[in-house]
Structure 1
Amino acid sequence: MFDREQALGLLRKYNSNEALILHAFCVEETMRKFANHFGEDASYWALVGLLHDVDYGSFPDQHCIKAPQLLEEIGADEAFIHAVCSHGWGLCCTVEPTLRMEKVLYTIDELTGLVYATALMRPEHMQGMGVKSVKKKWSSKGFAAGVNRDIITEGAKMLDMDIEQVISLTIEAMSEAQEKIGL
């Protein structure tokens, strides 16, 4: 199994945009938080989160299609590749999220974007942010218009979790990693 240093090297090899790297860090830390919540392997889940958009920077038109080839460069196995690609289900690929880890990734990929955008609008960024702040921005369709709220809702249902709990865990994860994620 590869380590975080190798994973980050691969991510940076194909993604030069620092905003994509920061997004990867948001998803990495949120996946770690959810893994701990469910008593799962936090390091593994975090690596899946870190590499979920490995192909996006260089191959945006082949997102989740090119990823398997790139992930093979560091020896990722089929299960890891499936997990990474599953977040694009129904959007850019047909790999369905079936494991809990994959369902979490599918759900929080979009949600981390909404939480990040909400933080940028606040003078104190993540400090003191609650579910209410995110839900308020959620209802403003013009705010973070690229965030697909339907995927977040569908993902929460797939996880059989209350949307407020999903948002709360995401806020906690990102709050704990403020410096790492550029806030």
Structure 2
Amino acid sequence: MQREEAYKLLTEHLKTENLINHSLAVEAVMRRLAKHFGEDDEKWGLAGLLHDIDYDRTKDDPKRHSMVGADMLAEKGLPEDVVYAIRVHNEIHGLPLKSLMDKALYATDPLTGFIVAAALVKPEKKLEVVDVKSLKKKFKDKAFARGASREQMKSCENLGLSLEEFLGLGLEAMQGIAQEMGL
């Protein structure tokens, strides 16, 4: 599946601008991480873009989230490793994170919301004014962006990245699409 087709499919299934922006942010970070690790950025980008494709259908039933989407994407012919990464990003299923892509998607999912929250508390409400130092400070404040799992983000260490490196790569990727996200 090409990116254009994937985006069309995403917007057919997700109707909320915030969810679409979240998907774009996860795609950007996954592409950046793929480049960092010398992996296939198209494949990793698809995993990021489509990881929450079933959210509008499953938001009230977390046990179905990611399973419905993964099954749908398998039927569409997406590569098995992309489908598996999407399936396992929801920790409720207890499935093992096997590949680098699995681990990256799992850590990246909450990271993007955390970075967006850091931008929105700035007077400018822009990603360009966010830096890694401020992200590290906000990370320590458990009351800030409470829904962004610190434990999940810290799993970046399973990728061989320090939290600071992970925050930097994520921020860089999201700043690259800030205009598209309206931030």
TM-score (norm 1): 0.91
Cα RMSD of the aligned pairs, angstroms, is 1.4
After superposition, give the CA deviation of every residue in 1:63-108 in whole Å (9 maximum; x if it has no partner): 112112221342223222101112113xx22332211111111111
SS at match of 1:179: helix
TM-fit CA distance, 1:180:
1.6
Bigger share in helix: 2
Correspondence list, 1:55-134, <5 A:
55-60=54-59, 61=61, 62-89=64-91, 92-124=92-124, 125-134=126-135
Structure 1 residues 11 and 73, CA, compared in 2 at 3 Å: closer, same or farther?
farther
**Deviation sequence 1:98-157 (CA, Å, 0-9, x none):** 11111111111111110111011123422142211111211222221111111111x222
Q: Once superposed, which parts of structure 1, at least 4 consecutive aligned residues long, lie more than 2 Å away?
A: none
Structure 2 unaligned spans of 5+ = none
- Tell me, in whole angstroms, the C-alpha distance in 1 between the residues paired with 2:15 and 2:129: 32
- Identify if the C-alpha distance between structure 1 residues 5 and 74 changes in structure 2 by more than 3 Å, giving closer, same or farther: farther
> What percent identity do the matched residue pairs reach?
38
Q: Aligned in 2, Cα 1:50/1:150: closer, same or farther, shift over 3 Å?
A: same
Whole-Å separation in 2 of the counterparts to 1:101 and 1:21: 21
Q: Secondary structure at the match of 1:37?
A: helix
| Cα deviation 1:161-181 (Å, max 9, x = unaligned) | 111000000010011111122
Distance 2:66 2:96 in 1: 12
Provide structure 1 residue ranges, at least 5 long, that are not aligned to the other structure. none
Query: Normalising to structure 2: TM-score of the pair?
Result: 0.91
Indicate conservation of the 8 Å contact 1:30/1:170, yes or no. yes
Q: In the alignment, what sits opposite 1:42?
A: 41
